[in-house]
Structure 1
Amino acid sequence: MESLRTSPRVILLLLLCAAPTTPGAPAGDKPKVILVSMDGFRHDYLSMAGGTPNFDRMLREGVTMPWIRNTFTTLTFPCHFTMVTGLFEESHGIVANSMYDQRMDRTSFGMPTTDEDWWTGHDTIWTSAQKAGLKAGVYFWVGSASKIQGVRPDRWFPYDNKVPFEERVDTLVKWMSQDDLDLGLLYFNEPDHTAHVAGPRGADTMAQVRRMDGVLGRLMDKLDETNLLDRVNLIVTSDHGMADVDSDNQVRSAGTQDEILVTQAVVNALKDVAHMKVMLKEEIPERFHYRDSPRVQPVLLLADEGWGISENATWRRQNLPRFRGDHGYDNILNSMKPIFVARGPAFKQNTEVEPMDTVDIYPLMCHLLNIEPAPNNGSLTNAARLLRVPPTPASTPAPTTPEPRSEPTSPRPGCLTDWSTRVEVCSFLLAALFLMTRFINYSHIL
């Protein structure tokens, strides 16, 4: 009888049992994950554009849903940070593309992404992966150029929208193959950039949708060339959709800036203005998961779909005529819903499932990478219907409520706050105006 110590058959059996595998992946190959965001890619763009063979392939070989439920505020920075943290905006603290922080007494314009103070220390998918001993590369993502918990991804670049899309794809695949990264993230600013100008139904926007289909095809081809296509669990999604807007549909403000006291009478007067909703912080709907952040200020103005809020007549004349699409509206609106499609060894094929939430993407990716998720608002149970092999009950923890990373603070007593500069920072046509600095310029509402 052969001893246990010297039996090659026993040794081989032990090695096979110990090797981590993903259903459908070649034996012995550990799975990899790539998350791709195509900014402003509405859930119904594929049916509108036509001529998208690579997305069609993803749908045949993978799993999709009619849309994925994104978070309010339906803005780029908050929604992208939700995807990689599994947290609602009130939990991760990135509540807008530009915002005022009372504790720091600072206003962020365009979110200086290398400024560590704005990122509240919550785990992202890349910090979770690195803590587990995996390697991550991020080719542009909200927060990736800043240290979070003192670290950056293993591979990253500061954001530069001039980098060709093809170069981004080729570099990420090189990282995944030659540097043997486990996790890759990839961001594109289209079709959002074009749709702001052309509108969500414009011919130029549809051309960009077809262009992004070509980018997806290049990604899959490059993965195939490096023998990664059948090892990578590829997720393609977006931060928000896009609504049609008319530059004439503007709630207009005028007058000089001055500090005024917040009274119920002031709020009531604003509530009489048509085409927008005015809410005190405590009145913000619970379903927004938004009001409990200290960076959300006492009053919120939210424009009706197709309407915006502009700062002054000069700004309107210079900027509004060239914008036909916008976002930042209520996330329940059909126009705000993004796309979701996934392909890879862990996912079902040629299947459509019920929608899940963007907070569920983070625990899903943690499961695919076989790592422990940080506290988050998502649920692997919601994402389980995407998977060929459902996770065991032990691997589907209930959603948790993360601890806040900064002490709640209050604006100066009696002061109404305004964020009129979002007009310049976001899309030049406000879908939602957050009252967020410390002054108000509503001496007249026209």
Structure 2
Amino acid sequence: MSLSTGLYTENHGFTADYMWDRKTNFTFERGTGPNDTEDVWWDDAKAPLWYTAGKAGVDVHCYWFAHCHRVFYDMVVQVPEKRWANLDDPHQTDNLRDVFPEIVNRISKYQVYKQQMFLIRYANIGNAQKEHGPESDEVEQEVARFDLYINELQQKLEEANLFSSTNLVVMSDHGYTPLQKEEQFFMEQCLPDYSLVKKIVNSHSMIMVFTNPEDEGTVHYEFSVCEVWSPMGDYDENDTPFVKTYRMSELPEELHWKGSRFMSGVVLITKPGTSVVTKELPTVPHSGDPTIDAKQASGWEPTHDDMKGIFVARGPAFRENERFGPIEIVDVYQMLLNILSIEPAHPHNGTWGNVEHMLSEGWENRGPTENSSFRSSCTLLCFISVLLHFFF
């Protein structure tokens, strides 16, 4: 949601892929759970990128892009059901290259009448990383395949003479880091009384521990002094501990979690590569979920190298053959809207100074009437894919 709204977690309210609402006992499960469409998650949701673009008259098309098909306020993007995002289907985006002809044809046919935006999610690289681990043949094959697909798409756009009016963005919003089996810990080993915990939400990197208010101090203490993940042997006091235990009010400001509406009173944050899971406590996702046995995971501090994503772009809005950065994921929202000459729908956390030098000279200051024919033909193609940062 940070990409779609330009907001940090504490401001857009979607704390993690998995969430729990204490009042209703509803769980949120990556958009695929039985309660994921309930109003409790969406009532205070900020307008996403596709809603703002659609309200401005942009022709919006989504391919397997999470939540893009659901109604927001007074508008819905017409997304065929076969293109709804299903994060439980690892093969959903296998046919990526098959949609290229229809995308190119649509741009060619309609760009003289209105602006267009295509949001496309490609999941195969991330799925290969989680299932097979780093430096596996499967991951290398998926990266090579995606590279082939992007080259093929560029060729089709060039053949149709569309790159003078089409901006292509390829990005990943985060990376993955390998999980170390010798650094996997079970929460049950730290708790003498399981009944103190009402719900465990999330796993591996950031774990939310919900308790009754009167039990929060006890649970925080038990995890803080837990010997299971205490350092042993030749341990340097400057080393990062395997697990840090926080009260919500103690969470580091730079993580932007502290004010999130579905955050728990006790939070565990692990060292990158360290995993904390549960087998017996009530948990979301459930203990048999495939993500529990993943070989790689995400969710650690964005300053960790493995968590960094990529952003590459081509088109009239962008400078050529130059490198910039680093930028934050919240910086991208404002830039994508600027390409379409649309003002953000709400105050956001992005910093314009982080991205303005990526744009072509004069692009930021062009007005809607300054070159109305160009404005009407501007198309934005945005690919979102989770990639290993060191492949690029």
**TM-score, reference length from structure 1:** 0.64
Q: 1:174-206, CA deviations, whole angstroms, 9 ceiling, x for partnerless residues?
A: 443335451111101121100112223223212
**Alpha-carbon distance between aligned partners in 2 of 1:195 and 1:106, rounded to the nearest angstrom:** 30
Q: Is the 8 A contact 1:280 1:299 kept in 2?
A: yes
Q: Residue 191 of structure 1 aligns to a residue in which SS? A: helix
Q: Is the 8 A contact 1:85 1:362 kept in 2?
A: yes
Shift of 1:361: 0.8
Give the match for residue 65 of structure 2: 141
Amino acid at match of 1:266: V
Amino acid at match of 1:148: F
**Alpha-carbon distance between aligned partners in 2 of 1:205 and 1:123, rounded to the nearest angstrom:** 35
Q: 1:97-138, CA deviations, whole angstroms, 9 ceiling, x for partnerless residues?
A: 110124544111232487262234311221111221221111
Q: Is 1:126 paired with 2:24?
A: no
Q: Is the 8 A contact 1:384 1:391 kept in 2?
A: no
**Alpha-carbon distance between aligned partners in 1 of 2:263 and 2:294, rounded to the nearest angstrom:** 27
Give the match for residue 340 of structure 1: 311
Give the match for residue 195 of structure 2: 258
Shift of 1:288: 0.9
Amino acid at match of 1:94: F
Residue range with higher mean Cα deviation, 108-117 or 143-152: 108-117
Q: Is the 8 A contact 2:96 2:122 kept in 1?
A: yes
Give the match for residue 209 of structure 1: 143
Give the match for residue 101 of structure 1: 21
Q: Is 1:308 paired with 2:275?
A: yes
Give the match for residue 220 of structure 2: 267
Shift of 1:393: 7.5
Amino acid at match of 1:271: S
Give the match for residue 90 of structure 1: 10
Q: Is the 8 A contact 2:5 2:49 kept in 1?
A: yes
Q: Residue 332 of structure 1 aligns to a residue in which SS? A: coil
Q: Which has the larger radius of gyration?
A: 1
Q: Is the 8 A contact 2:317 2:363 kept in 1?
A: no
* Structure 2 counterparts to residues 428-443 of structure 1, below 5 A: none
Give the match for residue 92 of structure 2: 162
Amino acid at match of 1:268: Y
Give the match for residue 326 of structure 1: 297
Give the match for residue 356 of structure 2: 384
4+ residue runs of structure 1 moved beyond 6 angstroms?
315-322
Amino acid at match of 2:157: L
Q: Is 1:186 paired with 2:104?
A: no
User: Could you tell me which of 166, 172, 178 is aligned with 2:103?
Assistant: 172
**Alpha-carbon distance between aligned partners in 1 of 2:251 and 2:164, rounded to the nearest angstrom:** 45
Shift of 1:366: 1.2
Q: Is the 8 A contact 1:128 1:374 kept in 2?
A: yes
Number of aligned residue pairs: 315
In structure 2, do the counterparts of structure 1 residues 149 and 104 end up closer, same or farther at CA, with 3 Å as the change threshold? farther
**Alpha-carbon distance between aligned partners in 2 of 1:213 and 1:137, rounded to the nearest angstrom:** 22
Q: Residue 108 of structure 1 aligns to a residue in which SS? A: strand
Q: Is 1:364 paired with 2:364?
A: no
**Alpha-carbon distance between aligned partners in 2 of 1:394 and 1:172, rounded to the nearest angstrom:** 27
Amino acid at match of 2:63: Y
Q: 1:417-439, CA deviations, whole angstroms, 9 ceiling, x for partnerless residues?
A: xxxxxxxxxxxxxxxxxxxxxxx
In structure 2, do the counterparts of structure 1 residues 259 and 317 end up closer, same or farther at CA, with 3 Å as the change threshold? closer
**Alpha-carbon distance between aligned partners in 2 of 1:330 and 1:152, rounded to the nearest angstrom:** 34
Give the match for residue 162 of structure 2: 228
**Alpha-carbon distance between aligned partners in 1 of 2:21 and 2:366, rounded to the nearest angstrom:** 39
In structure 2, do the counterparts of structure 1 residues 323 and 129 end up closer, same or farther at CA, with 3 Å as the change threshold? closer
In structure 2, do the counterparts of structure 1 residues 116 and 384 end up closer, same or farther at CA, with 3 Å as the change threshold? farther
Amino acid at match of 1:373: P
In structure 2, do the counterparts of structure 1 residues 277 and 173 end up closer, same or farther at CA, with 3 Å as the change threshold? farther
Q: Is the 8 A contact 1:135 1:154 kept in 2?
A: no
In structure 2, do the counterparts of structure 1 residues 136 and 247 end up closer, same or farther at CA, with 3 Å as the change threshold? same
In structure 2, do the counterparts of structure 1 residues 169 and 303 end up closer, same or farther at CA, with 3 Å as the change threshold? farther
**Alpha-carbon distance between aligned partners in 2 of 1:283 and 1:323, rounded to the nearest angstrom:** 29
Percent of pairs with identical residues = 25
Shift of 1:373: 1.1
Q: Is the 8 A contact 2:248 2:266 kept in 1?
A: yes
**Alpha-carbon distance between aligned partners in 1 of 2:288 and 2:45, rounded to the nearest angstrom:** 41
Give the match for residue 210 of structure 2: none
After superposition, the CA RMSD in angstroms is 2.9
Residue range with higher mean Cα deviation, 282-291 or 317-326: 317-326
Amino acid at match of 1:115: T
In structure 2, do the counterparts of structure 1 residues 222 and 249 end up closer, same or farther at CA, with 3 Å as the change threshold? same
In structure 2, do the counterparts of structure 1 residues 170 and 268 end up closer, same or farther at CA, with 3 Å as the change threshold? farther
**Alpha-carbon distance between aligned partners in 1 of 2:250 and 2:274, rounded to the nearest angstrom:** 21
Shift of 1:320: 8.9
**Alpha-carbon distance between aligned partners in 2 of 1:283 and 1:335, rounded to the nearest angstrom:** 25
The runs of 5 or more residues in structure 1 that have no matched partner are 1-80, 396-446
Amino acid at match of 1:282: S
Give the match for residue 278 of structure 1: 245
**Alpha-carbon distance between aligned partners in 2 of 1:175 and 1:146, rounded to the nearest angstrom:** 23
In structure 2, do the counterparts of structure 1 residues 374 and 253 end up closer, same or farther at CA, with 3 Å as the change threshold? same
In structure 2, do the counterparts of structure 1 residues 245 and 173 end up closer, same or farther at CA, with 3 Å as the change threshold? same
**Alpha-carbon distance between aligned partners in 2 of 1:183 and 1:147, rounded to the nearest angstrom:** 18
**Alpha-carbon distance between aligned partners in 2 of 1:310 and 1:169, rounded to the nearest angstrom:** 40
Shift of 1:249: 2.0
Shift of 1:155: 4.4
Q: Is 1:111 paired with 2:42?
A: no
Q: Is the 8 A contact 1:281 1:299 kept in 2?
A: yes
**TM-score, reference length from structure 2:** 0.73
**Alpha-carbon distance between aligned partners in 2 of 1:100 and 1:323, rounded to the nearest angstrom:** 22
